[in-house]
Structure 1
Amino acid sequence: MISRLLAVQITRYCSTEIIRQNRSLKNLLNSTKRNKQNNSKNIKIMKKAKYLFPGDYMADPSVHVFEGKIYIYPSHDWESGVEENDNGDHFNMKDYHVFSMDDVETGEVTDNGVVLSVEDVPWAGRQLWDCDVAFKNGKYYMYFPMKDKNDIFRIGVAVSDRPYGPFVPEKHPMMGSYSIDPCVFEDEGKHYMYFGGIWGGQLQRYRNNKALECAILPEENEAAICPKIAVLQDDMLEFGEEPRDVKIVDQDGNELLHSNPHRFFEASWMHKHNGKYYFSYSTGDTHFLCYAIGDNPYGPFTYQGVILTPVVGWTTHHSIVEYKGKTWLFYHDAVPSGGKTWLRSMKVTELEYNEDGTFKTIEGLDD
C-alpha cells in the first residue's frame, strides 16, 4: 500500500517527467507524411464516419457484442473550467452511461442512462476515466480507473446481471492495481487485462509494479514504457498473477524506443482475427492509433502500422469489434466541441483488412 507521503511525492512532476513531453509539430508532420508515403496503396479515405451521440460528450468507447447487440461503454466528458495540462486535471468525468445499438450502419444508439457514478464508489477520489466490461458466468464486470483519495489511479470493479447495468462497485480497488485504460480480453476461457497509460495515466510512476519516489520517463534512445497484462482470477475481481510487460517490437525484434512516434502511450485494445492477436493502442502525443500483431495474448507483438491518423483533439482512444460480418472502429474526436480536447464525441467507421491481415490506414481528418 502506498503511504500518503509517497502519494504526495509521486503526484508531483519531476524534471525528468516533463522533459520531452511536447514533440515538435515538425516531427509530427514529418511522421504523418512518411506514414502516408509508406502506406499510399493502403490508405482508406474515411467518408462515412458517424457521430453516435452528438447531443452530449462521450469518449473512449469500449465496445462489445452482448446478447446479439452492440454495447458501448464510454467515459463521459463534462466541462471542468480547469486549465488544460499534461496531468489530465481538465478531464472532468463523473459517471458512466451505457449505449446500445442494433444497426451500426444507421448510427442510431439508445442511451441506457447512468450506470455508475463517482458517488457510488466507496474509495472514490475523482475522475472516472475509460472503462471496459467483460462477461462470465451470467455476470457482467465493469473495470474502471479512478483516482483514489490520494489522487492515485486505481482500477475498480463493478458487477451487474445485465450488460446495460446498473453496476454495483466492490468496496476496494483491485489489489496491486495502478494506472488507467483497462481492456479485458477473453481467450480460451481465460480473461486477460491489459492496462496502462503514461503522463496523466501515471504509468511512468511505476517500475516492476512498484511505485517510484519520482516519476521517470525513458531517454530518447531507451525502450519505451510498456503497457501491462495480467490474467484475472476465476472470480474476475483480482489479478491472478503479477502484471507483466507487453513488449511491442519492430520487424527485427527490437523494442520500440521512447523516441519512436509509434510507441505506446495509452488506450490498449486486443482483438483476435484469423488466429492472430491484434494489440492496438494510442501513441498519445503523436496522435496515432497503431497496432502490432502477436501469436498469443502475452506477446511479444510486432509493430505493423497506423490504423488511424491524427484527428481533431489531442487524444485518440478506440475499440475494434466485429459485428454482422463487418469490422468496426469506434473512437472519438473533438470536432463538435470546436476542438476542446476535454469535450469529445464518439464516432464509428468501418475498418478494412488487407489480404495479408494488415489494416487499411484511415485518414482521421478526411471525413
Structure 2
Amino acid sequence: MDSMKEQLVISYQNPVGGMTEIGDPFVLKTNDLYYMFATSEPSRGFKVWKSKNLVDWDDEGLAYDHEMQPEEWATGDFWAPEVIYHRNKYFMTYSARDRQGHLKIAIAASESPSGPFIDICKDIVRQEGSYIDGHIFKEDDGTLFFYYVKDCSENIINGKHVSQIFVQPLNDDLTQLVGEPQLLLEPDSEWEGLDADFQWNEGPFVIKHQEKYYLMYSANFFGSADYSVGYAIAEHPMGHFIKAEENPILVKDLEKGISGPGHNSVTTSLSGNDMYIVYHTHTFPDNPSGNRQMNIDRLYVEDGKLKVDGPTANKQYIFL
C-alpha cells in the first residue's frame, strides 16, 4: 500500500475507539474531523471524543456538564446526545430526568463541537409525560425537523408500555416545536416484541437519499441481545413512513460475540462518498447490560433499500 492509499484507506476491527460504558453513539463530521458523543460517565453530562479517521479516538473530556449550567434542572439519566451545526453554532439535543421524575428533552448550544454546551431550552417537547431520543434532521433548504420518542415508562396503551416515535418542525433558533405532533412509528411487527409488556420503537435517525427519507430506529429492550435496527421510508420528513419488509437490518450475531446492536447514527467518509452506520453493542455479550461499546460498519442504499455490511467483528476498511 503506497503512501497515498495509506492516507485514504484505514483498516479497523469492531469495536472501535477502546471506550466502554457508553451507549447511543452519535458521530458528527465537521471541519474534516469527527466528534463522537454518547451516553457516558460521569452521569452529570456527556463526554466527547475526537477522531481524524473514525477509528482512532481521543477523549476530549466533558462537552456538556450539567453542574456548569445556569439552572441545574435535571437529576440524572442523561441520555442520547446528538449535535448538529446550524447558523454558525453547534446545537446539542439530549434527554434527562427532571426534578418531578419525568424524562425531558433539552437543547444546548456551543461555539465549538467540543463544548462547553450551555442549555438554551430545558423542555423542547413541552407535553405531559416522558420524552427521550431527540434527533434533528436538517433539510437541504435549512428547514429543521425534530424527531423524538414518547417513552414507554409513562406511555401506556391498552395495558402495554409503548415507546413511539413522533416528529414536528423545529423553529430556526431551536427553542420551540411548531404545529402538532405527528405519530410516525410504533411497535407493530413480530420482531419488535409485540408479546412483551414493554415495547420500543426508539433512537430515530433520518437520512435523505435520492429524494426519499429513511428513518432508522431501534426496537426491543436496549439491555437485551435482541436490540436491533430497522428502518422506514417516506416521501417527506413528516411522513407517512412505511416500515421496510426486510426489517430488521442490523441484528445480533452471538457466534461472533455481537449482542444488542442498536441506537445508531450515520456519518460519511471525509469525501462524502461512503456512508457508515455507528451503533453500540454490549461489551459483555454473555451478560448484556448498559455497558456498551461503539461499532462502525458500511451503510448503503441498493435498489431503494437500506443495507448494512454488518454487524462485523473481523477486519474491515474505511475509505476516507
8 A contact 2:205–2:217 mirrored in 1: yes
8 A contact 1:284–1:316 mirrored in 2: no
Hey, what does 2:137 align to over in structure 1? 185
Could you list the per-position Cα deviations for residues 238-268 of structure 1 after superposition, in whole angstroms to 9, with x for gaps in the alignment?
A: 21233221147xxxxxxx6265538852111
Hey, what does 1:26 align to over in structure 2? none
1:67 equivalent to 2:15? Answer no
Judged with a 3 Å threshold, the aligned counterparts in structure 2 of structure 1 residues 247 and 75 are, in CA distance, closer, same or farther, namely closer
1:359 equivalent to 2:295? Answer no
8 A contact 1:59–1:77 mirrored in 2: no
Q: Give the TM-score taking structure 1 as reference length.
A: 0.69
Judged with a 3 Å threshold, the aligned counterparts in structure 2 of structure 1 residues 181 and 171 are, in CA distance, closer, same or farther, namely closer
Shift of 1:182: 0.6
Mapped to 1, the partners of 2:313 and 2:158 lie a distance apart of: 34
Mapped to 2, the partners of 1:129 and 1:190 lie a distance apart of: 25
User: Alignment partner for residue 282 of structure 2, among 320, 328, 334?
Assistant: 334
Judged with a 3 Å threshold, the aligned counterparts in structure 2 of structure 1 residues 310 and 159 are, in CA distance, closer, same or farther, namely same
1:111 equivalent to 2:59? Answer yes
- Structure 2, gaps ≥5 residues long: 1-10, 195-199, 315-320
Mapped to 2, the partners of 1:293 and 1:346 lie a distance apart of: 26
1:272 equivalent to 2:185? Answer no
Judged with a 3 Å threshold, the aligned counterparts in structure 2 of structure 1 residues 314 and 351 are, in CA distance, closer, same or farther, namely closer
Could you list the per-position Cα deviations for residues 42-98 of structure 1 after superposition, in whole angstroms to 9, with x for gaps in the alignment?
A: xxxxx96432332442221112222232222211057xxxxxxxxxxxxxx432112
Mapped to 1, the partners of 2:261 and 2:295 lie a distance apart of: 13
User: Alignment partner for residue 321 of structure 1, among 267, 279, 301?
Assistant: 267
Hey, what does 2:6 align to over in structure 1? none
Hey, what does 1:229 align to over in structure 2? 167
Q: Give the TM-score taking structure 2 as reference length.
A: 0.78
Amino acid at match of 1:192: F
Judged with a 3 Å threshold, the aligned counterparts in structure 2 of structure 1 residues 219 and 258 are, in CA distance, closer, same or farther, namely farther
- Superposed, which structure 2 residues align to 1:235-246 within 5 Å? 235-246=173-184
Hey, what does 2:317 align to over in structure 1? none
Could you list the per-position Cα deviations for residues 23-56 of structure 1 after superposition, in whole angstroms to 9, with x for gaps in the alignment?
A: xxxxxxxxxxxxxxxxxxxxxxxx9643233244
8 A contact 2:64–2:116 mirrored in 1: yes
1:137 equivalent to 2:84? Answer no
Hey, what does 1:148 align to over in structure 2? 98
User: Alignment partner for residue 157 of structure 2, among 216, 230, 239?
Assistant: 216
Amino acid at match of 1:240: V
**Greater than 6 Å deviation, 4+ residue runs:** none
8 A contact 2:298–2:310 mirrored in 1: no
Shift of 1:134: 1.8
Amino acid at match of 1:150: Q
Mapped to 2, the partners of 1:137 and 1:226 lie a distance apart of: 30
Shift of 1:171: 6.6
8 A contact 2:259–2:285 mirrored in 1: no
8 A contact 1:48–1:349 mirrored in 2: no
1:157 equivalent to 2:104? Answer no
Hey, what does 2:243 align to over in structure 1? 303
User: Alignment partner for residue 50 of structure 1, among 14, 18, 41?
Assistant: 14
Shift of 1:327: 0.9
3-state SS of the aligned residue for 2:106?
strand
8 A contact 1:99–1:111 mirrored in 2: yes
Shift of 1:216: 3.2
1:101 equivalent to 2:51? Answer yes
Amino acid at match of 2:306: F
8 A contact 1:309–1:362 mirrored in 2: no
Amino acid at match of 2:18: P
Mapped to 2, the partners of 1:125 and 1:314 lie a distance apart of: 27
- Structure 1, gaps ≥5 residues long: 1-46, 79-92, 207-214, 249-255
- Superposed, which structure 2 residues align to 1:22-41 within 5 Å? none
Which one has the bigger helix percentage? 1
